[in-house]
Amino acid sequence: MAPPPPGNMPLTQRMMHLAQTLQFGWFVGHLTLLFCALRYGISYITFHSYSRFARFSYRTAFVAAAATYGIVVYKAYRARARSGRGQQAGALALAGDENVQYLAMALVWLFFPQIPLALLPFMVYSVFHVATYTRTNLIPTIFPTSPSPAPSAASPGGSKAPAKSNAYADMIGRFVKEYYDTSMMLVASLEIFLWFRLLGSAIIFTRGSWILLVVYSVFFRARYSQSSFVQGAILNLGRRIDAVVAQQSTPPMARQGWETVKRALGQAADATDVNRYVQGAPLKKGQ
């Protein structure tokens, strides 16, 4: 992230300097996503999810999601172009970028019928992006640290005293550090449940459900290949099903069916491993 403006500038100028950056637009996009998703959530739990304002909130949330990930993709492309690597990024390399994947899914959710569960992973990511930007950019801009005092003879070695940190920034930093891994596991679990949600819609032949299931399956396969959290969530789910199937009360046919499903999924995962075709590691998501 770009550093905050100098602390010796007036507050108004510091805020103007911050607001003129592309990264501030990225922050506002994530903040808009959270507000719209929360507003839609209120409509959903009060059984008004298809009211005009609820539909507006739902669509605006995904517009904001597409804008934030679009900004990240644009900045990454511009950085590659400046370094002379822009021409080397082929279609597979772009497909392997997590930001491109989430940008594509945000656009898919935007134009398909409402699926409230699809909002939750984006919300979790936005919480941490907003928190991180607030800690590293917004708080230092509003409450700049005072310059360190000049070294005195009383100070050991004549060194400057360390700048005093902001209590709110420290609190946000502790929150991010403490809950990041747990939240990423939550996102992975939500993405798994979302796949089953789409599968259920496809089984009853909801309009457009099979197309959406195929598109999301491609996205989820890419997530599995890139995210240790998704891999861990699937492993935990598989172990739980194994424990249930291993019980004596489970019919032998169910056990055989589960073994068949596991083999089929393993073969499908091996056959669709895109990483063998993509050169270079994908960019860190959302940065």
Question: Rounded to an integer, what distance in angstroms lies between the CA atom of residue 90 and that of residue 54?
Answer: 39
Cβ proximity of 225 and 273 under 8 Å? yes
pLDDT greater at residue 158 or residue 222: 222
pLDDT over 70, % of the chain: 83
Question: Rounded to an integer, what distance in angstroms lies between the CA atom of residue 245 and that of residue 262?
Answer: 12
Model pLDDT for residues 141-166, shown as the tens digit of each residue: 888 876 545 554 444 444 454 556 78
Once rounded to an integer, what is the mean pLDDT over residues 213-242?
A: 91
Q: What is the pTM of this model?
A: 0.84
The first and second tokens of residue 172, run together, are: 């946000």
Question: Rounded to an integer, what distance in angstroms lies between the CA atom of residue 112 and that of residue 103?
Answer: 15
Question: Rounded to an integer, what distance in angstroms lies between the CA atom of residue 60 and that of residue 113?
Answer: 14
- For the ranges 52-56, 141-145, 194-198, the lowest mean pLDDT is seen at 141-145
Model pLDDT for residues 7-53, shown as the tens digit of each residue: 677 888 888 888 899 999 999 999 999 999 999 999 999 999 999 99
